[in-house]
Structure 1
Amino acid sequence: MAFDERRYTREVLEPAREAGGLPPEDLRIRYQLHESMTAADVTGTVKQVRQCWRRARGMLKYKRLADRLEADHARFAPIFSAAAEGDLRPLRDALGESEHRAARRLSEAATRLADAAGPLRMLSPALLATIARSSGVGHEEALRLAAESSIEVGDPDTLPEAAPYAGYGRAREALDTLGLAHLARFLYGDRCAGMRVLDGFAVPGAAPVEDALEEAERYWAARTRGPWTVGADTVIAALRNSPDPGTLVRYDIVARLRERLREHPYDDSLLRHATTELDLDSGDARRLVFAVRAEGGGVATGPAARLRELVGAGEIHAAADFAEALDAAALTGEAAELATEVRARLATAIRLRDRARAALDPDDAWIALRDALRRVPDLPGASELLLRLAPHPARAVRVSVQGDGVGLVWQPSPSRAGRVVYDVLRNGTVVTSTDRPSARDERPPVNVPLVYAVVARREEAVAMPAVAATLIVRPEPAEVAFGTGDGVVSGSWRLPAEAAGVRVTRDGLPVPAGESGFRDRDVVNGTTYTYVVSAVYPGQDGEAVTPGVRRAVTPQGRPRPVTGFTLRADPSAPGTFLVRYEEPPEGAVEFVALDVPPPWPVGTTLALAELRAAGRAIPSIPTRDGQAIRPGAGRSVLVAVTVAGELATVGGHLDHISLVPPTELTATRRGGTVFVGFEWPQDVTEVEVMWNGHGVPVTSAAYRARGGVRFDVPESEPVVIEVMATSLVRGTRVRGPAARFDLPGRIPVHYDVTYRGPAWKRSVVVEVTADRPVLLRRLSLVLKPGHVQPTTADDGVLLDHWTDLAVPARLTVPVPRQARPYWLRCFAEGAEDGPAGRAGGVALIDPPVRRLKVE
């Protein structure tokens, strides 16, 4: 393979430069060698690599590295000389040794990274770069080593330097008065475990901080006034007046972590403090400790450091022993302060332990002992005593069979201290544990006496069990199903494996039955019977019979078919059809849609389930003389079916194609042309338009291309327009219901406006003509000043009007005294917009504009 200098620079020289100028130990990487090379290949490749070094030496950033590479090459010159002569054994040995050195260098770098990351498993990018350079590994290689060791590399989070609320100090004092570890405890109590304060404040599974603050306000407002409510008011005021309550909570956590850092604890102690006492999520705890560490501080040595370490680890009693063993000269300064704190905490814990031993109420003792262990986790004898402080027992356990399982409910333990868990035992074996006063045993033994008990437990201390009454679980037969026929009732079930048999009764009388079903022919059609199917179990005193599964069943005779029916579209509901038929004497009529004609002859009786599986049931609504059905779009075969119980008799059928009529049909005249428009029906490709004995098919494409349908009819002739969807069914054209529009005829009436007479006595003459005599109920002459003509009889000044005017007619009006320009125009009563108006089937047609406008 040809030598790639760019790749060599990118993968070898650049990482070596970033590693402080240390060349890679592995000679395979340094000289771009691999096992399959021949002696000639090795010699040629090494020559090209050294030429690359010389060229790189001309660049300032690689000069030092190139000198180091050339200096090291002198050590390997004999190996490559032997390779040039055909002996590759020295080279193979050197490659193996260099591989070991490279692995050792990586191992040492990984160890240094792990030591620097510590328990936090976090490193800053600057520290990682320093370790990478001093270890002789590249930056990318160091990042890979950190990832393999689960070390997170990143800059520390920025922490607030000052409190976002000026009165934080008073709020801190109020929290101490209330005995709360931090602000989140005030808002959420013990629910704030796993709290996150970085990347936004959140408590898993809890309400937002604003809602929690409102809940805290309501809680403290309901409390009796006292020093505790004054402190609560101070804390609430701080949270309310802070720009963001979550930010104040975060600062409170950071401030407490910084205070703990002044004690110089180890990282393990800080993490434990952050997660247990400050209730932080483990991820946020690591990041906060890392950020606080980055602000400054380190690990000291000596008696004070050891005391801090023991205190941080919760070994207070051990710290007291250590302080007692020290010379008085060693207990100075910080060590003396720590020893005093340790002794005080130990003395308080001992008093609490003694109080717990003397307490009569186990709850009081438990509270005192938990307080002692919180101060001194390693207090001698405290953990053993805690194990003996059982809660008060649960009471009144009630059990009941619920299907195949057993349900339990009980009165909870009245203990008020600690978290009480309930262990549910069945015949002495724990079935489940819960903190609720109810449980369920999903898989209890069958036909066996069962004794359930509930044991209240607080940590490892258990109370006396609360025992329920003995019960026996005997499941009923499952999957019980009944079928009816003509004078017969059948039943089937699945018997539980533990049952010895089954017992079936009809209205209290026994019915012969097999292990999985029965067939009862001693019934009368139309009569309702009550059947009970019970499981029989072997018992100590003979057979035990379950209450059974109860069903009311009515056998029906063979239903009669509906031999024929009619189908008519419902004009008031598009897509709905009215079906009429002769009602059978018994049973209910249903309609089923099939894709093909039914394979059963009329009168065939079969199981209802079989028929419904072959087709699609059609929704229907009963009407006075039939049903209203909606077959849906497309073509189908409608079958009438008479249903009685589980039987169905096939009746007549009808080919049907859903041809929905068009909607929003409109028609208008423009002279002798009629324009028709409508909303094209869904799933229809063609319609037929009929008018006055004429018809034309129209496709959806043609309708859309022409913007509707148009045809010519004399203006005086009335038009009845019908539009219906059509389709070809087996070569025959089928038409759906029609949408109809009646358009009356109109008689065209023309009028003209002229001026007659001398200038001092001119008149306006209106001549009205028609092809045949016609009577106008009202004709108005309107004047409108300006350049815009009037559009209605009210749009201007009425000059004159005539009622019951016989056409033809000539009308005269004095010329109006009106400044020009102005318009004159006639209107018939009820005229529409446009050049022609309509009044009772008469169209009034204007003369040319030059006759109407006076300029």
Structure 2
Amino acid sequence: MPTDWEKDYKATVLVPAREAGNVLPEDLFVRYGINGAHRDGERFDARVAETVRYWKKLSISTKLFKGLADALLAAHATLAREEALNHAEFTRRRAAVRAGAAERLDAWIATVAAGIPYVTRAAVAHLADLTGGLFTEDEVRAKLREAGVRPIDPDWDVPAAPPVGNAVALATDLRLLGYRISPQVVFGAERVAAGFRLKDGFRLDGDGSRLTPDRIEEAKAAVARRARDSRQTAETNVLTILLTAAEGGTVDRLVRWEAAQIVHAALAKGMPAQLAADLAAGFGLDRTEALELTVTLLAGGAPAAPVTADENAPIVAALAARRLREAQVLLAGLGEDTIEPDLRDRVRRLAAEVAREVADADTAERDGRTELAAERLTRALALAQDDTDLAARLGRIAPPPPGLPRIAAGDAQVTVRWTASPATVGEIRYRVLRNAGRAAVGPDDGDLVAETAADTATDPAPPVAEELTYAVFAIRGTAVSAGAVAPPLTLLPPVTGLHLAADGVRVTGSWTVPPGVVDVIVTRAQAGTGDRELRIPARPGALTGFADDEVVLGAAYDYRVVPVYLSRAGVRHEGPGTAGHVVVERPPAPVTDLTAEILPAADRQRLRLCWTVPDGGRVEIRSAGTAPPWPSGTDVPESALDGYGDTVPVVPRTGPDGRAEATIAASQGRVVLTAVTRGQGRAVLGSTVSLELSAMLTGLVVRRRWDTVRVNWLWPEGVQEAVLRWSTATSGDELICNRREVQDDGGVRLQVGPQAVTVAVYGLVRQRHRQFRSPPVVAEVPARVPRVTWWLDVTGLPGFRRTLLRLRADQFCEAPELILVAGAPDGSAGAELVRLPARRLPADRVVEVDVSRSVAPDRAGVTTCVPADPETAGLLLINGGR
């Protein structure tokens, strides 16, 4: 599978390396993105080359990763010089660096174990990062556990600020009461000190009691029964804050925030972590949770420093949280001299504004303008969110109904859509009801389909063959609008998954019936004839299939399957028909004798394919670079087969032997051709042939010019390289020729000497680490004729002078009979002086023949040497001029 470089490699390898300061992964397998699929040498080398190309691309295309890419390329060059770019060396180096990383990791873990033996999940991830990716987080966790260190999982949820604004007053009230944490006001200091847990929500160790609204209300009522004093006021304030948090679902976070403030304060004063945890455990927090909380705060999860509060702060916090009624209660409990005048005026102004909005709502409701009344109450609630009476009153004002529902029926479900209610305030929900035979008259009259804030709902299992009516009601609080009713419909789903098959003598059909079907009607009509439909009986005892024997081979038929439903009243309903088309033909049979023959051609190679036509199905030829993954004769899903190779367009004809044959163009390289027989919804794999093709070169021209031979040829399409091989009786060589260079130089020049030479040229195609050679084109170049140089020398002293004919051949040869001819006075050939018999001449050695008796010394300069028979001489005789 190809690599997604941006997702699989860049995101998981390069991004962490860059964020760590361009630190290269120590594990070379990770650095190069090598896995188990690259163990083979060729795949390993290809993967390394592919990764390096990606680094080079990053180096020139992105500034963000340029520094890292340059570092990776430099390290790669070092590994190349060290000859370390192989799987074995990568494995050895991984073992070495992993051993070193293991030593460092063990030392770090020992340091952690010597202190508080807990670490956060972020610390686990950081330890894994410090090993350079050589150890996973799971491996680090295992080592931590072996050393007695416990990873904190899940993390603590420590709020950075109190979840309710008026919690700033807790510290003052708790100090007055002599308590450390608010649950002590509800359960008592002794019960809380006996032990409680906090991470998954506050609960006492003994009976598992929690801070529920009912439990806090009970404690608040008990406090209210006591005489009013400063202690009772402080307890009331704490319980009011707890009740606000409990009703908002944040009471556990509030107590967690309190405990974190206590631990954080100790750490901020420089107290040791163990002692800070002891403080939390001292007022009842589970020892393990106290240690985990301390480690979490040390790791950066500490909230801001505690907020101090004066006498006016709780009122300010209540107003900031839009809790006007609470602010009024707090205001009433303080002396006149302790309240800032501006703060008292602010509370009174807000209370007056709320009263005006409520009065306007009363007027609108009396006039029947209910939505305007809801708007006024909503504005009042925005200022006094803790006024439960206002919230309850708003919840009793019914919203306008939604728009008329629209129904869409699927195969076995119904989708209901509607226009949202025009209500302008409040949270609106919708209730969808279903009834058979009538419409719902109220929000509880019918089968509930959905209750949702969206404007659509799906009924996943409606009853079939019944007249169904859907109604939608809008709900705000506890008030419900009038219903919006959709037109009735009757659900009659069609059958699904209709499959028709023919085996040459019958047609079979199968399908899936929806729930509620009591019968099916199957009809058949011959396609294109206009014949009426005939009823076909379903398979006995089943409603999901049929077998039709009354069919004709080669004919096409249309079938239709209609489901029949029965209502609760006994009325039959026919659903929509599902149609299918089939041609009666024999099932596909595999081709077992596919052959391929290479045909010579002037421009490019072609292949002749031959096969025996099977009894059933249509034959298709597919071409690919590799053999199919299924054996011959296998039934292959058509979707899988379509993903293998490409279809080869063929126009088959009947050959002399009665088999089908077709001629196709041949591509270059390795070609795998497979015959596939397709039928009705089936495909059968046939035989496969594999060829390694390279187009043959044409137009080979070889010309000798003395000892040089020039070679040229015509290049077929798709071939860019050729192999030129030449040989003589004593030597030879081979050249790789580039198409452009050969054409630019007008051919290839070979220095071959005088000998006969054989020249062969092959087309060369490279494909995926393999190369293919075409059949050779061969030419024979005969040896050139020997060149024999002659001259006459006169030697000796006067009176003893001799005339010598000297002969020197540039290669060994059989010199024919030669004649010395005296020159005539007019320069023409004269009389024959002597005939010299044929003789052997060695290469590059002078042979002397004494011709003194026939050639006088003074006639040597006008004597010529010629072959006795020029037509058969077989050599080139040259006058050397001596």
TM-score of the superposition, structure 2-length normalised?
Answer: 0.43
TM-score of the superposition, structure 1-length normalised?
Answer: 0.44
